[in-house]
Amino acid sequence: MSERDVPGGGAAARPGPTSRVRVRQLSGLSARDRRDDLATEEPLEIRLTGPGGAGRTVAITMRTPGHDFELAAGFLHGEGLVRAGDIAAIGYCADADPPPESRYNVVTVRLHVPVPDLPALDRHFLTSSACGVCGSASLDALRERCAPVPRGLLTLSPGLLYGLPPALRAAQGVFGKTGGLHAAGLFSPSGTLVAVREDVGRHNAVDKLAGWAALDGRLPLAEHVLMVSGRTSYEIMQKALAAGLPVVCAVSAPSSLAVELAREFGVTLVGFLRGERCNVYAGAERVSV
């Protein structure tokens, strides 16, 4: 499922994670013109097709180009629409519908099974880089498809937690150029960085990580730690639960619903993880002091 080529895509230009612009920089009373790198933000349409070829659009999200197949797989798995084993192939759109310049902004996920006939698909998930899924699944639906996280043997020291933010920041290559991207990092119980994904949207970064794990046969991530660069919202917790993650850490605050979910499902939730300080909002038994 390589993202290098578009079947039948011709010479369509592929957007990158950064875009270069000209800016006028002011300093005191002086000014100079220079080039600046920005985080690219473009729409991604996710389509589902079944064995018969008939398909439909299920989501449109604003994202930073890159790891688009993982984003599609992670989104579909996180919303409970598709299991990782249901995916036969993922590719950029080869139809004549979108113009060539938009072909890298349309991803088609082909399933081994028929496209699910769910009410959720009728409302067209519309997501943005700033907020989570509009009209997201209710708590009852989340309880139906996500079981509490097993206690397991995962125990983390405060020192290990304190090392996560700098390790994540050091791995943010695009952020270093633009200063405008969120990141989600997956860590081992020893604090080793396993994978990192960046995006203008916090939830997109988590979807890319979950999609990578799903396509690589690594789910559930029962012995891993998720570290995000922003705050922890309901959407982040929903995606973490779908991936089976027992620990979620963030540099900023969680929402009240995120804390409620963490406590109900047995997830260790850490917030305001900065320097050598943090708050453990749920699952403190996994942090050895």
Instruction: Report pLDDT digits (tens) over 206-223.
Output: 999 999 999 999 999 999
Give me the pLDDT at residue 179, please: 65
Q: Does domain 42-140 have CATH number 3.10.20.10?
A: yes
Mean pLDDT (the chain, rounded): 85
Most confident of 31-35, 98-102, 112-116, 162-166: 162-166
CATH code of the domain occupying 158-286: 3.40.140.10
Q: Is residue 273 marked as binding?
A: yes
Question: In terms of C-beta density within 10 A (0-12 exposed, 13-18 middle, 19 or more buried), how is residue 37 classed?
Answer: middle
In the chain, CATH 3.40.140.10 covers 158-286
Average pLDDT over residues 86-106: 79
pLDDT bin (cut points 50, 70, 90) of residue 10 is very low
For 97-151, write each residue's pLDDT tens digit: 666 667 789 999 999 998 887 555 544 455 554 444 444 446 787 888 888 888 8
Closest CA to 195 of 88, 286, 67, 87: 67
Q: Which residues are catalytic?
A: 131
The answer to whether 274 is a known ligand-binding residue is yes
pLDDT at 135: 42
Element (H, E) at 248: strand 247-250
Q: Is 275 annotated as a binding residue?
A: yes
- Looking at residue 86, its pLDDT comes to 93
The CATH 3.10.20.10 portion of the chain extends over 42-140
Determine if residue 125 is labeled as part of a ligand binding site.
no
